Amino acid sequence: AEKVLRFPGEVGVTMWEMGKEDPRRVIHSIKVGLALTLASLLCLLESLSQGIGQNAIWAVMTVVVVLEFTAGATLCKGLNRGVGTLLAGLFALFVEYLTADRPMPRAVVMGWTVFVIGAAATYMRFIPIIKKNYDYGVMIFILTFSLILVSNYRIDNTTKMARDRFYTIAIGCGICLFLSLLVFPTWSGDDLHKSTIAKLEGLAQSVEACVGEYFGDDQMKEIQDELSKDSIDQNCIKVLDSKYTDETMALYASWEPRYRGNCYKSPWQQYVKFGVALRRFGYTIMALHGCLHTEIKTPPSVRALFKDQCTNLAGEVSNVLVELANSMRNRRHFSLEILSAHLHIALQDLNTSLQSQPQILSDSMNRKDSRISHTTSFDANSSPLLESKTARPPEQVHGIQKVLRPQRSKLVIASLEFSEALPISAFASLLVEAVARLDHVIEEAEELGRIAQFKEYKAGEDVV
Amino acid sequence: AEKVLRFPGEVGVTMWEMGKEDPRRVIHSIKVGLALTLASLLCLLESLSQGIGQNAIWAVMTVVVVLEFTAGATLCKGLNRGVGTLLAGLFALFVEYLTADRPMPRAVVMGWTVFVIGAAATYMRFIPIIKKNYDYGVMIFILTFSLILVSNYRIDNTTKMARDRFYTIAIGCGICLFLSLLVFPTWSGDDLHKSTIAKLEGLAQSVEACVGEYFGDDQMKEIQDELSKDSIDQNCIKVLDSKYTDETMALYASWEPRYRGNCYKSPWQQYVKFGVALRRFGYTIMALHGCLHTEIKTPPSVRALFKDQCTNLAGEVSNVLVELANSMRNRRHFSLEILSAHLHIALQDLNTSLQSQPQILSDSMNRKDSRISHTTSFDANSSPLLESKTARPPEQVHGIQKVLRPQRSKLVIASLEFSEALPISAFASLLVEAVARLDHVIEEAEELGRIAQFKEYKAGEDVV
């Protein structure tokens, strides 16, 4: 009984938090309610004066279907709907005109026309460019065309009906556009801009946390490990999975009429390109994360040799990302010199320390070399568990099923005692690779700043 | 003029190829045409007998909106539409009943009800679980509810109208379900299954091509390089970007009534999980691809030492993926022993060769070590171009703009002359990492086979 009582409370809390998280949701809901009421009342007025009649319901329908969360989406749907209806009306008139004097029964003509046009238009919806931009418009075209033909069969006054329907849909679209463009508008472009900044900051955190964890104290961190590694991954995965939302937002943003000054070209496609560069950068960071969970353990003493340089380089990479995020937030260019200088010094430091410690790498290899005789008794079909008790990861022990599957590659990798130098050099190499990818990110950010005509960079004028 | 003449031809060719690529598109288009015609004719018959009247257009509308490409999507939309309409009708009756005896003007009551219900329902659409599964149903609810209230204002016969509309929508849904479930059905589940197989095969190709290119002859491959590297990447990127389509297909598949035998649990969510494991594997492969384009060049002589082992290991990884794809295609389990045996032998070979060649790694490092005095004059703000003529990548020379930006990290990395052993050990380490990730893929594939109740494995019964 308590659970039943608590349920509405929980739903209420969820609803409240959803609104607090993004108050525009509340505004959007109120706007939809308002638009519906306006359209309904308009219908009532019109139907009382017998002006538009039964077609009045189309205004309500238009409002429900067209009014979307962002201005761009509303415009896109509204224009698609308007143009689709108009074309369908004209086409229906044309078909009427063609078939007016034929001796065939009208039902046959109608049936065939609907069949052919419906099939052809549906087929056209598979063309990628139409699917992307005009899918909704083609659907409305099919819908309106069939409805007009069917209704005509009885009404025999095509022009009036098409005109009335067009008026009501225009009224509906008008209400939607007014509310979505002029009353507390929500712009897709802004969302895209903000999500790009959030991605940059998420990646910056991710890089630092990853390197921090790699060089952190093994014993102490063991406990927090499970907790933090998921959150590190999440930031990164959010970036990697952002393709679809990015492209949708950019598509809607490209419908939004917001050309400031002489911005001759819409920057939204550049945001998508920037997103691609970020994802490519993110793949390297994901691989870096992979090093955290690798089965080949590098002893802390070897790690400690490169700790400062790697942490330093990661810090610089993260700084570059944060600086890019700040420049975007303030819609200004950034200074390539300042960005690169520290980064390149850090790169050089890492290189110097890698080159000054070759004996560590070769030592650890030679040590392995002497041990190899102990592990050559390994056979792929025997159980590596028995041979590598020390290296056995703890999670493999739980559950009998796990023990009964000794062929897991993880165990084999752990038992093979790969060179200890392998993971640390992979880690360093991936960090260097990440810096190279960062180049591409910076290039696209510069291009974005150019196209979107950001302000010139002046030191110390940021309001963060 | 020639261009104008050629344009319809080109469109025709595109259309034809689109149909050849996936003939189900043609079938779907014909189905839509057929459904439209049926619905239209039904409307005519009904309106001639004055049975349903103006509401008949709802059957046409339902067909246009509900009939989707796959059976799952149609069912999902059809049920959403049916339930949404039903609930809206009941709710409208309830509101009528509540407000029947009040002394307020009816327009005011209607305006407020529409506003409150519209806003509340729109707000509910932001709840993630509703957005994912029932977004369309809630939209139809708002639509139908407003329309019934508005129409009622004039008609004064709520029950008959609600009943008529429900009948016509039921007729429309019936036509759609009949055509989509019984006539040449297209199943989302099959698409998901096939796309998963294609992803496995794409990754297998990608791994082999990547390693092949890494160890290939530099001079000879330079030309094909640009061509092939894009196609290698494409396979991988297709997998990495598949999240949204996977989830959509799984969502629709979960609506499809295809429980074979005693399959107690739908396997579609497991396909999504398998996709996540594949993407995680894919990140490592992308990082491996990154090694192809790294600025630190490993001399072919060093590469050649590990060529056979790495190629061998990559071949085995690719074999595992192909075997997984085959087992899925034949809907059977796979033999873990056979899969793992070769893989683990290849792993061991690579390990042995890495451990037997430590002097190469340390030699190359010592060689670098003696050269370091030449490069310590490096300064982050000076132009590394001048200091590293040999390492300068050819593409940086083109265009004056490129030369004017000497701070590119790529150039700095090239000029720093990182240890030559760094990239090869990173490459090997990433390969080993990929094998570890493959574990997770295999686990999820086993789970998938268990849930979807694939056949037992018997050697040599595949029909590939």
Give the residue with greater pLDDT, A374 vs B49: B49
Cβ of A29 and B120 within 8 Å? Answer: yes
Provide the residue type at B424 as one letter.
I
Q: Report the share of chain B in percent with pLDDT over 90.
A: 0
**Contact map slice: B 424-443 vs A, CB within 8 A:** 425-426, 428-430, 432-433, 435-439
- Within 8 A of A352 by CB-CB distance, chain B residues are 372
Point out the residue among A25, A139, A423 whose CB comes nearest to the CB of B126.
A25
- Asked if the C-beta of A296 comes within 8 angstroms of chain B's C-beta atoms, the answer is yes
* Residue B46, both tokens: 């009904």
Interface with A, mutate which of B40, B214, B365 (most A CBs under 10 A): B40
Q: What does pTM read for this prediction? A: 0.75
Per-residue pLDDT of chain A (464 residues; tens, 9 = 90+): 565 666 777 778 887 888 888 888 888 888 888 888 888 887 777 655 554 456 667 788 888 888 888 888 888 888 888 888 888 888 888 887 777 766 667 777 778 888 888 888 888 888 888 888 888 889 889 888 888 777 766 555 666 766 777 778 888 888 888 888 888 888 888 888 889 998 888 888 888 888 887 777 554 455 455 555 566 677 788 888 888 888 888 888 888 776 544 444 567 888 888 988 888 888 888 888 777 766 566 666 777 777 788 888 888 888 888 888 888 888 888 777 777 777 888 877 777 777 666 544 444 444 443 333 333 333 333 333 333 333 333 333 333 333 333 345 555 555 555 555 666 777 877 888 888 888 888 888 888 888 877 777 766 655 54
pLDDT at B395 over 70: no
Per-residue pLDDT at A376? 33
Alpha-carbon distances, residue B32 vs A130, A437, B37, B38, B429 (angstroms): 18, 48, 9, 10, 54
Binary contact (B337, A143; C-beta < 8 A): no
pLDDT one-digit tens code per residue, B7-46: 777 778 887 888 888 888 888 888 888 888 888 887 777 6
Which residues 384-423 of A have a C-beta within 8 angstroms of B? 405, 407-410, 412-413, 416-419, 421-423
> Residue A287: what pLDDT?
80
Residue A342 contacts B, CB cutoff 8 Å: yes
| Closest Cα in chain B, distance from residue A312 (Å) | 15
pLDDT band at residue B289, thresholds of 50, 70 and 90? confident
Which of A147, A344, A369, A427 to mutate: most B Cβ within 10 Å?
A: A344
The B residues from 133 to 152 touching A (CB cutoff 8 Å) are 139, 142-143, 146-147, 149-151
A29 and B381 within 8 Å at the Cβ level: the answer is no
| Alpha-carbon gap: B393 to the closest alpha carbon of chain A (Å) | 13
